[in-house]
Structure 1
Amino acid sequence: MSNPAGPVRVAVVNDYEIVVAGVAALLAPYRSRVDVVELDIGVGVVGDVDVVLYDTFGQVQGDGIELEDLVADGSPKVVVFSWNVQADLVERTIARGASGYLSKQSDARDIVEAITRVCAGETVRPGEVEDLDEHDRGAWPGRDHGLSAREAEVIALITQGLSNQEIADRSYLSINSVKTYIRTGYRKIGVSRRAQAVAWGMQHGFSPDHARVLR
């Protein structure tokens, strides 16, 4: 573990390189307090870190996360970073072993404060925030094509081969919301059928990556 007097050593975890890099860039101005020392893309954490920040984009959500799969020895604390902040989901996730649960509405300062509090032994929950796409933080595949983070995640899950119902279950969205994101996402990327969306996703970075960067 890191020196208590130094910055909190953080690993950022997700299956998409652009998402991990976006979170790391968000935290970079605060490296005197939070030092991102490991970027794990589709693999478990191996370094000596204090906190694992798990971004849920395109991944298993909340209480479905296998926390033991994120870390090699179970010693780092895990903080979930998600836009799915229903109170019951948050509580179930924490009951299963997460030390913190942050909304993607949080700005960088709030994320840093939460991480340092978790490292100090506190359990952190999201505040009361609106869940609006236009306030999403960080980076995600398809952002430069005009996709909101929600639309991008739905396209990512379609690219992974999930059905509409499986996407709804994975994302804690209603089936009607999933259909809405599909419709608006398809319009933005210029496709009309699922096979076209899968092909577009595979060509534009929506297939999960696998890499590890130690800093």
Structure 2
Amino acid sequence: MDRPRVVVADDNVVVRSGLVSLLEAAGIEVVGEAGDGRTALSLAERLTPDLVLLDVRMPLMDGVAAAEILSRTTRVIMLTYTSDPEVVRAAIAKGALGYLVHGSFTPEELTAAVHGAIAGHHPLSEAAVSALVGAVRGDAAAPAAAPPDPDPAPAPSDPAARYGLSAREAEVMGLIVQGYSNGEIARRSFLAEKTVKNHVNRIYAKLGVTSRAEAIARWMGLREDDR
């Protein structure tokens, strides 16, 4: 049986490298890598892959816009940190076969999603399923939302719950995954940079890692938890 041929598009080089290593270890051939939507289009046109894995937020052309064009000639799975229901719905409406949110799947589930999408299935993370169900129902039957908890506990399936991160630590980790430096996180979160460093050190300890790259890989399921 021929190996699936895949293009991986993500502007975060750490995430992209982790995905490539994971896929190739599972016998999937990564024929191209892109850091933006336009490059993904160019690679897909030239290499004719079986499937493209697309991040949502990328420079030059975002993943949703790219998915609309790519889906005319190949299969597309959105593979992203973005779980916003409107983005999920837009991506599926533009032709993406599947939508996976980082941190909500194992390496084995990602491999199965690639094979499944090539076979015509629709791999969806729980957040994506919820978004699509909400679209079908029109949210008409949804009860009035309760006031948000100022420091909500993460859902059990969330990696924050798995590693015991506080809400603030989970927020910092989310910004780390998006490529922000400690200084940028401090400005965005209205914290002192020393406070951010303390959060980062506690995150590393809880995840059992020693670097940003390892933390991102473990958080997003790209590295096995061997503790």
Q: TM-score range by the shorter chain?
A: 0.5 to 0.7
Give 1:176-195 correspondences, 5 Å limit: 179-180=188-189, 183=191, 187-188=195-196
Q: Does 1:39 align with 2:33?
A: yes
- 1:57-76: CA deviation from partner (whole Å, max 9, x where unpaired): x537xx972125874x9412
Matched residue SS, 1:53: strand
Give 1:8's aligned residue: 4
> Which blocks of at least 5 consecutive residues in structure 1 are unaligned?
137-146, 165-177, 191-203, 205-215
1:82-121 mapped onto 2 (5 Å cutoff): 82-104=80-102, 105-121=104-120
8 Å Cα contact 1:77-1:118 kept in structure 2 = yes
Indicate conservation of the 8 Å contact 1:13/1:41, yes or no: yes
- Which position in structure 1 is the counterpart of 2:22? 26
| Cα drift, residue 134 of structure 1 | 7.7
RMSD, aligned α-carbons: 3.8
Equivalent positions of 1:144-163 (< 5 A) are 148-153=173-178, 155=180
Letter in 1 for 2:6: V
- Pair member with larger Rg: 2
Structure number with higher helix proportion: 2
Amino acid at match of 1:130: S
Would the alpha carbon gap of residues 70 and 28 (structure 1) be closer, same or farther in structure 2, given more than 3 Å must change? farther
Alpha-carbon separation, structure 2, partners of 1:185 and 1:65: 34
* Corresponding residue SS for 2:49: coil
Contact 1:133–1:150 (8 Å) recurs in 2: no
Whole-angstrom CA distance in 2 between matches of 1:149 and 1:68: 24
Higher strand share: 1
CA contact (8 A) 1:51 1:79 kept: yes
Number of aligned residues: 153
Unpaired runs of 5+ residues, structure 2, are 128-155, 164-171, 199-211, 213-227
Contact 1:85 1:126 in 2 (8 A): no
